[in-house]
Structure 1
Amino acid sequence: MIGAAAAAPTTNAELKQQVTDTERAFAATMKARDHAAFTSFLSDEAVFFSGPKQAQHGKGAVAQEWKRFYDKPEAPFSWEPDEVEVLASGTLAISGGPAYDPKGKLIARFSSIWRLEAPGKWRIVFNRGSDVCDCKNP
């Protein structure tokens, strides 16, 4: 049967793994310092909430805002998913997890909403990061 091996995931667990792998590949763009690859994960309709600034709307605006994080040789932060959920329909997913500074200190948590835009092709539509409280130093 031709194409059977390339069949779309059929279980929620397979879809969750697909989104987890996509989030990890997205995060790897920061370590690799590859802004073009970062941009390839963005939906045309992406909305990112980055710090105290207004939300960036659209792939171009998000890519422009995030370019500054890719300009220097060292990554200013890293992130990884520790939770992923996918709708039963298999069309939307949420991922979340910690973000770390270059020394490995937890500095924030992120949440991302992913949409299946083509078979096996998840793109990020919403992203928000929240600083983690340093409760030892009020």
Structure 2
Amino acid sequence: MDAAPRLSAEECAVWARELGFARALAEHDAAAFAAFVHPQAAFGAGQPQPTRGREAIAAQWADLIAGKRLRLRWYPQRVTVAGVGDVAWSTGPALYQRIDPGAQPRYLIGQYQSVWRRDTDGVWRVLFDDGIAPRPATEAEAMAFERGRREDCPRR
């Protein structure tokens, strides 16, 4: 298993923002979700046609935010701040759960990668987001995902 990261105060600030971003989605709060997204963000950044701009991203994610058919959860495992302290990279697992009780597979698991930028107002916002396409996951893998979540940032 990988050694646990030891993060700086700035990296922990991004860790907290990542958790807040995920919480906004889990709480079905479209306005809060959009506030985490940089106005000129690109989601699906590795795709031939990424979704560009906060409004377009919020519209594309509306069904996920509503959470009526699919529930998405994620959390950070690694955060790195670089440059002059205004760019950060974050990654961790992402778990999709189909809401329909008869859905098969019920769970899908993937990995996300986000690039954050500290804006002139000092707030970290997601600038780029993408991930590894999810694959079917077992109930045991879904429970391992839940056990792996940590709210506290592993500080240096």
Aligned length: 125
- Most deviating of 110-119 and 91-100: 110-119
> Could you tell me which residue of structure 2 aligns to residue 55 of structure 1?
50
Q: 1:99 to 1:44 in 2, by over 3 A?
A: same
> Could you tell me which residue of structure 2 aligns to residue 4 of structure 1?
none
> Could you tell me which residue of structure 1 aligns to residue 143 of structure 2?
none
Q: 1:30 to 1:51 in 2, by over 3 A?
A: farther
| Aligned partners of 1:48 and 1:55 also within 8 Å | yes
> Could you tell me which residue of structure 1 aligns to residue 26 of structure 2?
31
The one-letter amino acid of 1:107's match is: I
- Match status 1:126 vs 2:128: yes
> Could you tell me which residue of structure 2 aligns to residue 99 of structure 1?
94
Q: What's the Cα RMSD here?
A: 2.8
| Aligned partners of 2:79 and 2:90 also within 8 Å | yes
- Match status 1:41 vs 2:36: yes
SS at the partner of 1:15?
Answer: helix
SS at the partner of 1:54?
Answer: coil
The TM-score normalised by the length of structure 2 is 0.70
Could you tell me which runs of 5 or more consecutive residues in structure 2 were left unpaired when the two chains were aligned: 1-6, 99-105, 138-156
- Match status 1:89 vs 2:48: no
- Most deviating of 22-31 and 126-135: 126-135
Deviation at 1:33, TM superposition (A): 1.0
Distance 1:61 1:95 in 2: 22
The percentage of counterpart residues that share the same residue type is 30
SS at the partner of 1:89?
Answer: coil
Deviation at 1:40, TM superposition (A): 0.3
The TM-score normalised by the length of structure 1 is 0.78
Q: 1:90 to 1:97 in 2, by over 3 A?
A: same
SS at the partner of 1:101?
Answer: strand
| Aligned partners of 1:30 and 1:75 also within 8 Å | no
| Aligned partners of 1:31 and 1:75 also within 8 Å | no
> Could you tell me which residue of structure 2 aligns to residue 69 of structure 1?
64
- Most deviating of 21-30 and 67-76: 67-76
Distance 1:51 1:126 in 2: 9
Q: Which has the higher contact order (CA 8 A, sep 6+)?
A: 2
